[in-house]
Structure 1
Amino acid sequence: MEMLPRIVVVFLVMTVIFGMQEVMSKEVSLCNMSENDLLACKPAVSKQNPADPSPACCKALSSADLSCLCSYKNSILLPSLGINPDFAMQLPTKCNLNPPAKC
């Protein structure tokens, strides 16, 4: 009978491990931009004198949901991630994209 509790514990531990691997393997996505897309744009929205957006950033931004991104402009999340919201709002224009009308 002692073997049964060990099997249950092992099964539970393995379930948690496999569940965590599945969660950790999923890529982060925000407003139709992957984590790599967001990282490509970070130099253009951080620092005092940001770089111009790279071609990779503009390409990613062209398929992003700009209205969704606009909804983050007043979020405390952006500055906490080192992103200047004013610079972020300038990205569509710098990439020759039309920003949402109410952004």
Structure 2
Amino acid sequence: MARTSSKVLAQVVVVMVLIAMVGGASAATICNIDTSKLAECLPAVSGRSPPPPTKACCTALLSADLHCLCNYKSALPAFGINPALAMALPKKCGGSLPPNCKVDAEP
């Protein structure tokens, strides 16, 4: 029960940080990445025909804690982010997902 509550609380915090990021508030750090740098990846994970990730996106993403980011993929659709595209970014940037981070559908 406590583990579920802490996971829900963590997801609420992530959603609040993402709302602040999208709203233009000052940057915060989540999963070892500055949210303003994470915003560099937004075009590559949204829309019907997203462009490839930029060098700035890849640089930021590869310094992030990908295991941590994987825990929050269920919150991404609320921000217009396709979770499958988001989970495909590490490979597109020359990295890889943690072994226990499943991609529900390939982009």
Query: Common fold, TM-score beyond 0.5?
Result: yes
Could you tell me how far 1:26 is from its partner in structure 2?
6.1
Instruction: Please name the residue that 2:63 is paired with.
Output: 63
Could you tell me how far 1:71 is from its partner in structure 2?
0.8
| 2:52 aligned with 1:45 | no
Specify the code of the residue in structure 1 equivalent to 2:86. A
Could you tell me how far 1:62 is from its partner in structure 2?
1.1
3-state SS of paired residue (2:64):
coil
Specify the code of the residue in structure 2 equivalent to 1:33. I
**Higher alpha-carbon Rg:** 1
Correspondences of 1:1-103 after superposition (within 5 Å): 27-73=27-73, 75=74, 77-103=75-101
Distance in 2 between the 1:27 and 1:52 partners? 24
Which residues of structure 1 form unaligned runs of 5+?
1-24
CA contact (8 A) 2:32 2:63 kept: yes
Q: Sequence identity, in percent?
A: 51
Distance in 1 between the 2:97 and 2:41 partners? 16
Runs (4+) of structure 1 moved beyond 3 Å? none
Specify the code of the residue in structure 2 equivalent to 1:87. L
Query: How many residues matched?
Result: 77
Could you tell me how far 1:60 is from its partner in structure 2?
0.3
